[in-house]
Amino acid sequence: MTKMPNPRNRDIFKRLLTYVADLKGIFIISALALVAYAIVDATFLYLIRPFIDEGFAATPTPSIVDGIEVANTHGFKSDSNVLKIAPFIVIGLFILRGFFNFVATYGVSYMSTRVVETMRQQVFDHILRLPVSFMDKMSPGELISKVTYDTEQIARASGNTLVTLIRDGVSVIAYLGVMFSMSWKLSLCILIIVPLIGVVVSVVNKRLRKVSRQIQNAMGTVTAASEQMIKGHKNVLIFGGQKTESARFAKVNKYNRYQNMKLATVQAISQPTVMVISSLALGAVIYAASLDSLHDELTAGIFAAMLSTMLALLQPIKNLTRLNAEFQRGMTACATVFELIDTPAEKDEGTHEVERVAGDIKFDNVSFSYPEQEKLALDQVSLEVKQGRTLALVGRSGSGKSTIASLITRFYGELREGQIMLDGIDIHDYSLKGLRSQIALVSQQVTLFNDTIANNIAYAYPGEVTREQVIEAATLAYAMEFIERLPDGLDTEIGENGVMLSGGQRQRIAIARAILRNAPVLILDEATSALDTESEKAIQKGLDNLRRNRTSIVIAHRLSTIENADEILVIDQGKVVERGNHKSLLEQNGMYAKLYQMQFGG
């Protein structure tokens, strides 16, 4: 039952053990407590016989109390001493049982919560170091479930496995010992009959469970239908879709009830069926006991003890048969977690460190394709931005502009060909942290953290940041004007991902964050595209402040925002198709001119 079918599982298990390697003492104490627990239970079952046989002795002699003959209620003489001690023994045993149970539960929980804690932290920290290309492939839900659910699963499964293996394993052996010590003949009968019935019960049970599961799988539609309506509430109202939605829901709702009734019926049938079949075992054992050859050696106490032990055996046996499945579940969860932990982190082999670069950026014939993709996202792109200058990238969506930004920050690894240089040094020669600290990136999606505005502006700022610095950055970003109107000013909590702020306000916080960072290189990737012209004008001043004295690469959707860039590149299908400044590009009368005319209507 406890075999480890493949060597892979053995490796995973060995690795899992390393997480509790320093908890050997607790492991041993818990294991001992589990063994003791099982033995106490067995002792209790063993004592049933003397309690009955000696407490209500089966010798039909009249008892003599103080010389007077009296018949007790059973007409039997009883050894009242046994019955007088019995309560103390019973209570004592249960106290012991409770104590061992507490020690074992505490110990096992201690170990499993430690595993969860360590593993979670490890998974979390590792995700922080994973490359963007890996995150592109994964769904956030999948990753979150690895941090929360899978780690928990591992601990629960391995805790259960441990408890079952030790406590239930010892129980079965001890119970069998109790039975055989009383009557090996009846024990043999039981050992033949019970498993036979057990097989029948489990076959019937499996079938019934399968049916229930199929029905359960068919449910869950109610959630989906409600979710659709709740999420789309506004749309339903404006299109007057109440009737449609209500009818759709009624259908799902009714179907759900049918399924529930089916499930209840199957369950209502299954329980009594299993009970009736099980009673066959009991009947067979009682019948066996009535046979002459057995009957002679059985006393009431033995028979009662045997039946109790037989019933007591069922639970640990059940647990042991489930052991492998439980263990496999734990190993599967373990495998997925280890797989994540083993995913290579971002490559970070560069060693060049520099306090502050001047900010000369150069792409030399760069070609790049995304992992597992044939198509080139960038095709022999060359560009150069000198310190303090502004380069603008324009082009249709999907042309490769953001890819250029992602390569400068080394979000993606290998280039197909070419080189990207910062201050004349290949960016791959910088340490990742060093390189990224030189760059401020403001994009269309602003990520705000569940914290105060001040802390969001100072997010991950290296070193101490003063209040004055935050205010200065917020003022330069033209964010102070709306921050001041908030109830707690800079200390306003903005809630999960800043839901209470408008797009323009979020954008200005992002700009303030970039200003505070004071990095020599600035990348604006459609930073203002989501805004209306008015907000954009307000933010533009903030952006102009941000761009001062920095090398800037500006990706813009609206051409009006980049007219005075030092150079403008038009990108199409990963290639630079035109380059020049606003004036010269208009004169070329090519793609830029066409885009310009589209936006300004002639």
Binding site for Mg ion (CB under 5 A): 402
By beta-carbon proximity to ligand ADP, the closer residue of 137 and 234 is: 137
If you ran DSSP here, which 8-state letter would residue 62 be given?
A: P
By beta-carbon proximity to ligand ADP, the closer residue of 59 and 397 is: 397
The yes or no reply on residue 400 touching ligand ADP (CB under 6 A) is yes
By beta-carbon proximity to Mg ion, the closer residue of 112 and 402 is: 402
Q: How far is the C-alpha of 98 from the C-alpha of 33, rounded, in Å? A: 10
Candidate residues 151, 402, 505, 551; the one interacting with ligand ADP per rule CB under 6 A: 402
* Neighbour-count burial of 1, counting CB atoms closer than 10 A to its CB (0-12 exposed, 13-18 middle, 19+ buried): exposed
Report in angstroms how near the CB of residue 440 gets to Mg ion at its nearest.
17
Q: How far is the C-alpha of 361 from the C-alpha of 423, rounded, in Å? A: 6
Q: How far is the C-alpha of 138 from the C-alpha of 342, rounded, in Å? A: 15
In the region spanning residues 197 to 256, those forming contacts with ligand ADP, defined by CB under 6 A, are: none
- Contact characters 287-326, ligand ADP, x per CB under 6 A: ----------------------------------------
Candidate ranges 239-247, 393-401, 462-470, 536-544; the one touching ligand ADP (CB under 6 A) = 393-401
Q: How far is the C-alpha of 72 from the C-alpha of 64, rounded, in Å? A: 10
By beta-carbon proximity to ligand ADP, the closer residue of 143 and 354 is: 143
59 binds, among Mg ion, ligand ADP, none (CB under 5 to 8 A by kind): none
Candidate residues 243, 397, 466, 583; the one interacting with ligand ADP per rule CB under 6 A: 397
The answer to whether the beta carbons of residues 114 and 19 sit under 8 Å apart is yes
CA angle 94/97/101 to nearest 5° reads: 140
By beta-carbon proximity to ligand ADP, the closer residue of 136 and 566 is: 136
CA angle 4/7/9 to nearest 5° reads: 60
400 binds, among Mg ion, ligand ADP, none (CB under 5 to 8 A by kind): ligand ADP
CB atoms within 10 A of CB 151: 24
By beta-carbon proximity to ligand ADP, the closer residue of 53 and 526 is: 526
* Neighbour-count burial of 366, counting CB atoms closer than 10 A to its CB (0-12 exposed, 13-18 middle, 19+ buried): buried
- Contact characters 101-140, ligand ADP, x per CB under 6 A: -----------------------------------x----
By beta-carbon proximity to ligand ADP, the closer residue of 138 and 307 is: 138
Candidate ranges 152-160, 191-199, 232-240, 390-398; the one touching ligand ADP (CB under 6 A) = 390-398
Report in angstroms how near the CB of residue 556 gets to ligand ADP at its nearest.
11
The yes or no reply on residue 565 touching ligand ADP (CB under 6 A) is no
Listed as own residue / partner, the contacts of 9-18 with beta carbons closer than 8 Å and 24 or more positions apart are 9/328, 9/331, 12/331, 12/334, 12/335, 12/338, 13/331, 13/334, 15/334, 15/338, 16/115, 16/154, 16/158, 16/330, 16/334
Report in angstroms how near the CB of residue 264 gets to ligand ADP at its nearest.
48
| Sheet with strand 417-422: strands edge to edge | 378-385, 361-368, 417-422, 425-426
Candidate ranges 90-98, 209-217, 320-328, 396-404; the one touching ligand ADP (CB under 6 A) = 396-404
- Contact characters 349-378, ligand ADP, x per CB under 6 A: ---------------------x--x---x-
In the region spanning residues 134 to 163, those forming contacts with ligand ADP, defined by CB under 6 A, are: 136
398 binds, among Mg ion, ligand ADP, none (CB under 5 to 8 A by kind): ligand ADP
By beta-carbon proximity to ligand ADP, the closer residue of 400 and 520 is: 400
CA angle 108/111/112 to nearest 5° reads: 85
Sign of CA dihedral 576, 578, 582, 586: negative
By beta-carbon proximity to ligand ADP, the closer residue of 195 and 398 is: 398
Candidate ranges 157-165, 270-278, 345-353, 400-408; the one touching ligand ADP (CB under 6 A) = 400-408
The HSE-up count of residue 291 (CA atoms within 13 Å, CB side) is 10
**b/e per residue, 257-294, with b = 16+ CB within 10 A?**
eebeeebeebeeebeeebeebbeebeebbeebbeeeeb
The yes or no reply on residue 399 touching ligand ADP (CB under 6 A) is yes
If you ran DSSP here, which 8-state letter would residue 168 be given?
A: I
The answer to whether the beta carbons of residues 519 and 484 sit under 8 Å apart is no
Select the residue whose beta carbon is closest to ligand ADP and give its number. Answer: 402
Per-residue 3-state assignment (H helix, E strand, C coil) for 376-422: CCEEEEEEEECCCCEEEEECCCCCCHHHHHHHHCCCCCCCCEEEEEE
By beta-carbon proximity to Mg ion, the closer residue of 183 and 402 is: 402
Q: Reduced to 3 states, what is the DSSP secondary structure of residue 362? A: strand
By beta-carbon proximity to Mg ion, the closer residue of 29 and 132 is: 132
The answer to whether the beta carbons of residues 141 and 360 sit under 8 Å apart is no
Report in angstroms how near the CB of residue 525 gets to Mg ion at its nearest.
6
Positions in the binding site for ligand ADP (CB under 6 A): 136, 370, 373, 377, 395, 397-403
